[in-house]
A = this chain, B = another copy of it.
Amino acid sequence: MKPLQKPNDPLSNFSLQVFHMNGLLMRSGDIITSSIGQSSARWQVLGRLGHGTQTVANIARDMGLARQSVQRIADALTKEGLAVYQDHAADRRTKIITITSKGAEVLNAIYVQYAQWNQHLMTKLNLEQLETIADALNKVGRVIEEEINSYLTDKNNVEVPNE
């Protein structure tokens, strides 16, 4: 049988680097937010509320997350008094979620921490390099996204050929 070798192709190496960087950035986010008793996920959602009033389903779509993932976080934020639900006159299913002044304070505190970290880190990093990587990731990402989609489509066509 095949020796089950450790993958060493360019795509695997690329993936490993992305995973590693993802871990570092998540850790950074957690460090920033944990000093304020929050988390990266809370920060993300709270940030959306900062841009204006939203429904949970809307935020989830914006963030590319499952509706229920955001729902749980929104519930938690509300329970902690960082956000409030309000009835939505035009749609009795949905509640509108709004940031409270306490939530805004927390968000601002996180922002200050983030700005500090950002500023410090940028003294050690090359701005153009970050931009270059971001652009390249964006391009590669679009290709991969397309291939994932076409793969899923093909698979469906094969497995559910009728209709």
Contacts and interface: CB of A to CB of B under 8 A. Distances in A.
A111 B4 contact: yes
A20 B143 CA distance: 13
Contacts of A22: 18-19, 21-22
A36 interface: no
Q: How many copies does the complex hold?
A: 2
Interface string A103-145: 0100110010010011011101101011111101111110111
A10 B131 contact: yes
Interface stretch (A53-61, A74-82, A84-92, A147-155): A147-155
Contacts of A4: 47, 50-51, 104, 107-108, 111
Interface residues of A, number: 62
B21 A137 contact: yes
Contacts of A140: 21, 125, 129-130, 133
Interface of A: 1-2, 4, 6-7, 9-25, 27-28, 31, 47, 50-51, 64, 104, 107-108, 111, 114, 117-118, 120-122, 124-125, 127, 129-134, 136-141, 143-148, 151-152
